[in-house]
Amino acid sequence: MFRPSSVWGPGVLLLLISASVTAAELSVETPEGRLDLLKQQIAAGEMGPALATARQASDVAERSALLEMVADAQMNTGDFGAALGAARSIPDAEVRDRTQRQRAELQSLNGGNGAQFQQLIDLIQENTEGPWQDIDGIGGTTTWEPNGVRVDPLGLLARLSAREQTGRLEALGVRSRQADLQKDMAQPSELRMVSLTRLERAVSERLASGQPVVESMLRLAGLTEVHYVFVYPDAGEVVIAGPAEGWKYTANGDTVGTESEHPTLQLDDLVTVLRTFSPEGESVFGCSINPRQDGLKDLKQFVETSQSNGPLDSRRTNRWVKTLGEKLGRQDIEIYGVPADSRAARVIVEADYRMKLIGIGKLEPVASIPNYFDLLAQTNDQETGAIDALRWWLTMKYEQVLHSDDHNAFEIRGSSVLCQSENQFLNEQGEHVPTGKSEPTNRLFASNFTQHYDELAAVDPIFADMQNVFDLALVAALIRHEGLDNRIDWDRGAFASGGQYQPAHYATPLECDSVVNHRVYNGKDVVVQVAGGVQVDLMAIVTDETLNQPSPRLSGVAAQSKAPELPAGRWWWDAR
């Protein structure tokens, strides 16, 4: 499976965790002594000291064997997240691969019902890639490509809401109330129901008692998409529903469905966007990686000087391209609406970065999305010697959001991602000036990217992951815009802004180096990419009464789709 390696950065990731040193953590000088001590620590459940003991071994074979023992012990207790960290630190490749395969198999057989990661380091290593300061002695770095991702769920919600006249949601309501409690969570389900209110109570209870949030909660019972949202005012329930299955871990530590290999929805992302679409939130989020004005000015002057000297000597091409990057220099990364250290931020920045690499021909994951330069060579649209500043950005794309007359049932149709484009130009001050227009080749790239997005998402899961974030954001926007939480008197508890549940934190990128590719046409024409990001008047859209229409035929859906009787603490079920 195509998945370019990337590391959340830039810079060095340092994890400084202070702790007192117990006698069990003291150095042991002989292999026999280390083995005996490690067995005692494992028997006592002291996995942290056991890891420290294993890492004292200087011999690669001994350290690998001891770390494998620790990982096995962690898997036996169901702590698959911690086992991943231990497995990754095994120096012997054969032992490391064997341990990681065993962990993935056990995790899959367990239906994803493992313990939550006990340390921040486990959380970070679970969801990003090494090298790691505490394991490898070095940190990770990355280079980012400029441009922006735009997310605006509330606007699309209002524009695409429509009447549903066929009665399908009413029929679905009858079906969804029948839970099949005999199925294991690992079994595929066409329609799995997850009660957000019950889940929040279950999470709150575990946190209050000092227990970890279990893996099934973190993965939202294996949901891979959201198709429906239901509200039950009398029962005080908000429920999301969609296809689900058991899950497994990829080599990068991401969770995907065991059959579909589609990324699972994440509790961290849900809580993040719920807080974004709360009274305290910004109700919009996204990212933008922006070239600095001085860099653009220097770049413009360099290109103009090169053009005045006539056609570029082929022997100077590599040096010329390198100088382009040097003139453009570093760029600033802006993340807004969600915490910059959140998983949601990581996903949208990484997806945006890869889109730009595809656009400039640095990545070629699918043949159906040719890069801009190849398209330009075919269409010959580059007619002047000016510097075109190409802008591409991603946003949500849905066919419809249907709702019942009483607004107790919602269906999300045609979830996808839209790539948009614009041509800009650079003025003498190095500012990129919008034109409001996109030339044919630029539009063609954006159109291909949108049309073949599902194909791309199947090859590179980061794009499917971003679509998951968008879908959860639409759910959060529905809850906010429709006042679903107020209707059932739900204050969001641990999921509220400032609530007890704390999503994992990731290193926050502040700047990045430019990535440059080039084609020279007619000996003079140069194409350069710059930043994206568009502002939308959200309130003007959501308050437009012509965009929100009732559907009398869907009245009563909530009563007919009322949640079934469930055992105490149960927050999910499969509809028959």
- Asked whether the CA dihedral 316, 317, 318, 324 is positive or negative, the reply is positive
Alpha-carbon span 326 to 298, nearest angstrom: 9
Average pLDDT, the chain: 73
| pLDDT tier for residue 239 given thresholds of 50, 70 and 90 | very high
pLDDT at 173: 58
**CA angle 270–204–115, rounded 5-degree value:** 75
Alpha-carbon span 337 to 333, nearest angstrom: 14
Contact 38, 25 (CB under 8 A): no
pLDDT greater at residue 283 or residue 540: 283
pLDDT at 62: 93
Nearest to 54 by CA among 111, 18, 99, 103: 99
Q: What secondary structure does DSSP assign to 412-439, as a single string?
A: EES-EEEEEEEEEEE-TTSPEEEEEE--
Q: Is the pLDDT at 548 greater than 90, yes or no? A: no
Please tell me the total number of residues recorded for the chain in this structure. 576
Q: Please compute the mean of the pLDDT values over residues 526-553 and round it to a whole number.
A: 38
254-279: burial string, b at 16+ Cβ within 10 Å, e else? bbbbbebbbbbbbbbbbbbbbbbbbe
| pLDDT tier for residue 432 given thresholds of 50, 70 and 90 | low
Strands 400-403 and 161-163 turn out to be: parallel
Contact 68, 103 (CB under 8 A): no
- Confidence (pTM): 0.67
pLDDT greater at residue 19 or residue 94: 94
- Asked whether the CA dihedral 72, 74, 77, 78 is positive or negative, the reply is negative
Alpha-carbon span 80 to 9, nearest angstrom: 25
In one-letter notation, the amino acid at residue 394 is L
pLDDT digits 0-9 by tens, 506-517:
777 677 667 677
| pLDDT tier for residue 518 given thresholds of 50, 70 and 90 | low
pLDDT digits 0-9 by tens, 178-213:
445 445 788 999 999 999 999 999 999 999 999 999
Average the pLDDT over each of 174-188, 225-239, 306-320, 528-542 and give the range with the smallest value: 528-542
- Domains located in the chain, CATH noted: 23-118 (1.25.40), 149-281+541-574 (no CATH), 292-402+414-469+502-537 (no CATH)
Alpha-carbon span 184 to 107, nearest angstrom: 14
pLDDT at 220: 97
| pLDDT tier for residue 172 given thresholds of 50, 70 and 90 | low
- Which of the 8 DSSP states describes residue 79? -
Q: Please compute the mean of the pLDDT values over residues 92-109 and round it to a whole number.
A: 72
Contact 378, 443 (CB under 8 A): no
Strands 189-195 and 432-437 turn out to be: unpaired
Percent of the chain with pLDDT over 70: 66
pLDDT greater at residue 424 or residue 2: 424
pLDDT greater at residue 510 or residue 470: 470
Q: Is the pLDDT at 536 greater than 50, yes or no? A: no
Considering 27-41, 199-213, 240-254, the range whose residues carry the highest mean pLDDT is: 199-213
